[in-house]
Amino acid sequence: MGCLPRKRRKKQTNDRTNAFCGVRVQNREPTALVLHTMGYLWQNGGLCMAGDYIITGGRPLNGTVRVPAAKNSVLPLLAASLLCSGPVRLCGVPELADVAESLALLRSAGCTAERQGADVRVDGVPGSGTLAAGPAGRMRASILFCAPLLARLGRAQTVLPGGCRIGARPIDLHLAGLVQMGACPQLEGERLLLTAPAGLHGADITLRFPSVGATETLLLAAALAQGRTSLRGAAREPEIEDLAAFLNRCGGRVQGAGTGTVRVQGVRRLHGCSFAPLPDRITAATFACACAAAGGRVELAGCAPRLYAPVLENSGTNGVRRCAAGAMLPLLPGSGGCTGRGGCSPGHTRRWPPTRPRCWRRCLLCAEGPGSIEDVIFERRFGCAAGFAALGGRVRVEGRTLYAEPGGTLQGTVLEAPDLRGGAALVIAALAAQGSSRITHTEFIDRGYADFAQKLTALGGQIARETPRGADCPKKRTSKT
């Protein structure tokens, strides 16, 4: 779907301030601006066309998966590297589409950003405050790169961020906090310009919603700001703690990360460091749910079970047995299969982060009893529900709640990945189905899962990846046992 058409209107002489707190918008009615922005984000929600997954279901998963570094930690850390006066090395960074886009953003700012084996090295002082429009428009996390440029150069220019189409994902909390710290944002069409004529200063900020992205933006802005910043209502996710640990390793002064109140004393300079991002709890949860749906015995290595404990708690009450042993966790479906008892609702706490319910919903399709998942954050989180129904699952969506009933038989079919995590959900649902399934738009999955097909294949799944004709990449990559 392309951009929605712009509505013709008479030229106005006055400026308007829209929902982006403090942003001056010239000659745009608020409704037309919203429609135009939605169209732009829709157009920039995906990457290039990738090969389809051809999946043969009905095979249990057995073996060990090593959990990689968390994408949702790596991207803010790459943005934070712009604050550092020395080289930064991030260890064990997975090869993801979003990581490649982030490296392109760093290079567009004038830094050297390259892979060195499994690591990523960033060096150099940013010389340009303008981020490349292509990568910025394709990735939601591109907004995180603005605060460091604003802190270092007093100016940051980008386009409205893209990302998965799971509902409204405004940046007003980011901008409102930056305004309190001395920034002046201006929005003209898809172009966002941030300036700080007098530099950034500390502020007492209260978020009306514990947004992870806004918390990260304001931590990045406060690290080099003059004075002390208090951030109340902050997100508490482990990735926030990881970002604070990195900043402190580089000489920053951040306290309270992981709680609702974070305090940052700005410093004049941050040096570089070598840092290993935390493991990807969402990837771990994905494979845990894959084991629950497809059956078998899977060991998750390299990720402490506490990082994805809510998934384990729900799997335990739904018939999945697990036995923790250090950083390795064997998972076995119970003798009675998944029961589907109860439900879950991700809210404003770290217990059920917004992305993990999508991991769990695929398990409900295989359950022996009814289950439900409610999302209180995004209104279009369950874009994969249509795919579940096409497979034969007895599901329905009412408002922000997905309901699943027992009795459906999953049968392979053609499916379309609606977004990153929804696409992964469909892959695992297809592994639990009978027969063959084709999943299109796998470029969404590539944004957050490195070698997803290969890892599932190593566990015993049967997946082939076809490359579309005319694509500038290998003709066919097949992974099967």
Q: Which two tokens stand for residue 147?
A: 């605060």
Q: Residue 29's pLDDT is what? A: 39
Report yes or no: 73 and 277 within 8 Å, Cβ to Cβ. yes
User: Which residues, listed in sequence order, are joined to residue 69 by a DSSP beta bridge?
Assistant: 279
- Which of 146-150, 410-414, 468-472 has the least mean pLDDT? 468-472
- Catalytic pick among 21, 146, 164, 366: 164
Q: For residues 66 and 304, what is the distance between their CA atoms, to the nearest angstrom? A: 11
**Alpha helix ranges (H) inside 139-269:** 146-153, 172-180, 212-223, 238-249
Q: How confident is the model at residue 288 (pLDDT cuts 50, 70, 90)?
A: confident
Is-contact 290 453, C-beta < 8 A? no
How large is the average pLDDT for residues 115-135? 95
Look at residue 129 and tell me whether its pLDDT is greater than 80. Answer: yes
For the question of residue 164 being annotated catalytic, the response is yes
Bridge-based pairing state of the strands 274-275 and 88-90: parallel
| Ranges assigned E (strand) in 266-419 | 274-275, 296-301, 320-322, 329-333, 343-344, 371-374, 394-398, 401-405, 414-416
Residue 140 in tokens: 């939601």
The answer to whether residue 271 scores a pLDDT higher than 80 is: yes
CA dihedral 454, 455, 459, 460 (to 10 degrees): -20
Query: What radius of gyration do the chain's Cα atoms show?
Result: 22
Which residues, in sequence order, are CB contacts of 325 under 8 Å at separation 6+? none
**What per-residue confidence (pLDDT) applies to 381?**
60
State the helix-helix crossing angle for 71-80 and 212-223, rounded to 10 degrees.
30
pLDDT of residue 195: 97
Q: Which of 255, 252, 259, 267 is nearest to 232 (CA)?
A: 259
Identify which of 25, 24, 22, 28 has the alpha carbon closest to the alpha carbon of residue 8: 28
Higher pLDDT, 61 or 356: 61
Residue 261's pLDDT is what? 98
Per the model's pLDDT, the better-predicted residue between 345 and 233 turns out to be 233
Q: Which residues contact 74 (CB under 8 A, 6 or more apart)?
A: 90, 93, 94, 96, 99, 102, 120, 277
